[in-house]
Amino acid sequence: MSSQWFKLFKKQGTVARQAHYDLPKDSYEREMGKEGFFGPVTHFYHRHKHTGWSDFEGDNRPRAFDTNELDETQTSPWQAPVLLRNKSTQIRMMHIRESMTRLVRNADGDELLFFHKGTAHLFCDFGHLVIKEGDYVMIPKGTMWRLEMENPCEILMIEATNSHFKAPDKGLLGPNAIVDTAVYRVPEIDAAFQGQYSEDRWKVVIKRRNEFNRITFPFNPLDAIGWQGDLMPVALNWRDISPLMSHRYHVPPSAHTTFVGDRFVVCTFVPRLFETDPKALKVPFYHNNDDYDEVLFYHAGNFFSRDNIHPGMMTLHPAGLTHGPHPKAMEKAFEQANQMTEEVAVMIDTRDPLDVTPEATEVEWSGYINSWSET
């Protein structure tokens, strides 16, 4: 049976003429919507901030984790601790200091690596790729790969479990907006790749259904002399993203989508101009993302909507809760001292609830739940 949303539009009481703009005096806007900013939506105008709770009981609460406190290093991505997971994705944080001595292959899904710190060389079926801080590297399911380190790396790993990463549909903006395909980098069969051909013994560790198989070759299986096709790893640095902006309207997080998985998206917040219209909201609006769990990994800069958050931290705002700017940020809701934001962050919005692992709990900042307190 086919279905459609209820198509009604009603107003009650005192409201703004349009969302996120010229709010009624002494009011706080709260957005309640379906399907992560893509479905029906209502904007409420409240006398109080709905993050201003005096007590909070239960586990479905805002949480924050400090990945800087993960002090163990790994030599393989499969050793990296899983912090958050559901059936569609699992999120790891890898700290690696030494070059990988074995190849790995993920048979569970595409892998997205975000290099929070460090520089390295990726060697894979497709060739050699130089990696630097701030790079995303999307590695297709089934690809053999390893890293040679130039210096220690900290890597946020996002798996598209039993699925793939795709590019977002940019619609009316056209193909060159936000991320122009010209800026993607791909591995090359260059001198560095050819230089690692060998008849030495190599092992490949394959992850399938979160279990591991090992294959031994009497040669280096990264021995391609050429390839052609439209399936390949791609690299993208956040500095090559041109953010979508409006001088009158605070655009929703979905406008910053960079990669699309099955039942989740990965978005990137990069420095951009603040809204210039004096009546336009200049901080993220309070909202209930009632269908998605929202994860933010803070990479660099000054996180203008958050207090006591530093690079390397990760927050989780579960579906069903109101969240938004901290009190100090709301003081600058309509007037900012700087012309531009300074933050760089990775957001992962998942359609299904995320489970928090014991490894994440060990580095949790328990005081985050009270960070919206006015006192």
HSE value, Cβ hemisphere, 13 Å, CA-based, for 266: 28
Secondary structure (DSSP) of 256-294: GEEEEETTEEEEEE---BPP-STTB--SPPEEEETT-EE
Q: How many C-beta atoms lie closer than 10 Å to residue 287's C-beta?
A: 23
Known binding positions for Fe cation: 287, 293, 323
Question: Buried b vs exposed e over 79-111: b needs ≥16 C-beta within 10 Å?
Answer: ebbbbbbbebbbbbbbbbeeebeebbbbebbbb
- Answer yes or no: are the C-beta atoms of 115 and 155 closer than 8 Å: yes
Dihedral angle of Cα 66, 67, 68, 73, to the nearest 10 degrees: 150
Annotated binding site: 287, 293, 323
Cα torsion angle, 333, 337, 338, 339, sign = positive
Cα–Cα distance, 330 to 279 (Å, whole number): 14
Structure tokens, 209: 């259904």
**Any idea which residues carry the catalytic annotation?**
250
User: DSSP states of 312-333 as a string?
Assistant: TEEEEE-TT-EE---HHHHTTS
Give the integer Cα–Cα distance in Å for 202 and 287.
Answer: 51
Structure-block tokens of residue 59: 């586990």
Contacts of 59 (CB under 8 A, 6+ apart): none
Residue 81 tokens, joined: 């601790």
Write the DSSP string, 165-176: -BPPP-GGG-TT
